[in-house]
Structure 1
Amino acid sequence: MFTGIIEATGTIRRITGGRSLKMTIECPAILGDVKLGDSIAVDGTCLTVTHFTAETFDVDIITGTSDRTKFSAAQAGFTVNLERALMPSSRMGGHFVTGHIDKVAKVMRTFRQDNATVCHISLAPDDQPYIIDKGSIAVDGTSLTVFKLAPNYFEVQLIPETQRQTKLMQLKPGDAVHLEFDMLGKYVLKQKERV
């Protein structure tokens, strides 16, 4: 379980494989207390540490994960958002994020609005029920608020702290992003379908 509050950004140093991948990520800032088997959200995807050094950690990406994420197109040098798993004693600054990606979407437009950066992200019609105005959504693992919901996109706004702490400021039209819809909303919709 994660909060969507990004701790640091890292750099993919190596990625090998086809549909099953092995990835090495450099980010010494979060490795001080890492252990084998720890969960780290990489661009919002919950992955397990299989090896680590003082500078890097390795993760394996199985086909079920690579089929649902953008990692099959990742390359060495890519920047990724990172968050270690939530500890029971942590403050809950974002929202409940599981690290299970629902969709890969595309950035449609970015622009400045005073001190915020506004992003419009594509949304398929069948995903509309999972997003509500002023609701929460995780974009590349970052907990954000939906400011506008349109027929084919939703809008999020990046505050200055999010601009500094995440890689989201690097996004440009056409870039792929991981989406995780709000878990509580998904449960409510599932129960409604059963009634």
Structure 2
Amino acid sequence: MFTGIVEELGTVAAVEDQGDAIRLTIRAATVLEDAALGDSIAVNGCCLTVAARDEDTWTADVMQETLDKTSLRGVQPGDTVNLERAVTAATRLGGHIVQGHVDGVGEVLRRTPSEHWEVVEVSLPADLARYLVDKGSITVDGVSLTVVEAGAASFTVSLIPETLARTTLGSRQVGDRVNLETDVIAKHVEKLLAGHLPAATPSTTEEA
């Protein structure tokens, strides 16, 4: 589990293509201070497991399911990535509860700069729209953000200078793909309430 507060920007050092998986090596510093084999580190919001490490790099195996469902497909050496270690019982929950399980991939549609912040619009897969509300939480590439405006096909977030400087969101361009994770609490509430809500009425009826 994570909080969506990025600890550092890492650099992809190597990508080994294994056919139905990749072996991803990332150069980092802060997240390696206490990293051990088997530990979890979020990479652009994807929870990955430390499979090997040395003084300044760590390696994770990225399976086909992750490549199919996230923007890690196509990552190249030299790319920068957002990194966050898993929370501990003593960690401040500075963002919101983030699982590191990507729900879908969006695309940066528009960037509107201002003097002290920047509004970014991101496309949203249709099946995720119901989990977003104005002023609710969304994770974009592992960054915990507040939704400014939630629409049926996109949403906007407002990025402060700190977020622009310390995460990959400062350099994402229109057309870039980003990983999205919606609020897990909303998903659990939906499932718990499903059995107590009336079934949807079909929009059409079959003719006799």
- Give the TM-score normalised by the residue count of structure 1: 0.96
In the TM superposition, residue 29 of structure 1 has moved relative to its aligned partner by 2.5
Contact kept? 2:104, 2:125, Cα under 8 Å? no
Determine what percentage of the aligned residue pairs are the same residue.
44
CA distance in 2, matches of 1:124, 1:23: 27
| Counterpart amino acid of residue 102 in structure 2 | I
What's the CA shift string for 1:14-37, capped at 9, x where partnerless?
A: 112233110000012221111001
- Structure 1 partner of 2:174: 173
In the TM superposition, residue 126 of structure 1 has moved relative to its aligned partner by 2.6
SS in 1 for 2:36: coil
In the TM superposition, residue 123 of structure 1 has moved relative to its aligned partner by 1.5
Contact kept? 1:19, 1:67, Cα under 8 Å? no
Q: RMSD between aligned alpha carbons?
A: 1.1
2:3 maps to 1:3: yes
CA distance in 1, matches of 2:177, 2:125: 14
SS in 1 for 2:89: coil
Q: How does 1:1-195 map to 2 (within 5 A)?
A: 1-17=1-17, 18-195=19-196
Structure whose alpha-carbon radius of gyration is higher:
2
CA distance in 2, matches of 1:29, 1:87: 16
In the alignment, structure 1 segments of 5+ residues that lack a partner are: none
CA distance in 2, matches of 1:67, 1:126: 17
CA distance in 1, matches of 2:50, 2:192: 34
What's the CA shift string for 1:126-148, capped at 9, x where partnerless?
A: 32101111000000000000001
CA distance in 2, matches of 1:114, 1:183: 33
Q: Greater shift after overlay, 43-52 or 23-32?
A: 23-32
SS in 2 for 1:177: strand
In the TM superposition, residue 160 of structure 1 has moved relative to its aligned partner by 1.5
| Counterpart amino acid of residue 75 in structure 2 | A
| Counterpart amino acid of residue 113 in structure 1 | S
Q: Greater shift after overlay, 38-47 or 148-157?
A: 148-157
CA distance in 2, matches of 1:68, 1:138: 15
Kindly tell me the number of residue pairs found equivalent between the two proteins.
Answer: 195
CA distance in 2, matches of 1:60, 1:194: 38
Q: Greater shift after overlay, 83-92 or 118-127?
A: 118-127
CA distance in 2, matches of 1:82, 1:179: 15
Q: Greater shift after overlay, 31-40 or 63-72?
A: 63-72
SS in 2 for 1:72: coil
What's the CA shift string for 1:85-105, capped at 9, x where partnerless?
A: 001101110000000000011
SS in 1 for 2:51: strand
Q: Greater shift after overlay, 71-80 or 175-184?
A: 71-80
SS in 2 for 1:71: coil
In the TM superposition, residue 167 of structure 1 has moved relative to its aligned partner by 1.1
Q: Greater shift after overlay, 9-18 or 42-51?
A: 9-18
In the TM superposition, residue 150 of structure 1 has moved relative to its aligned partner by 2.4
SS in 1 for 2:50: strand
- Give the TM-score normalised by the residue count of structure 2: 0.91
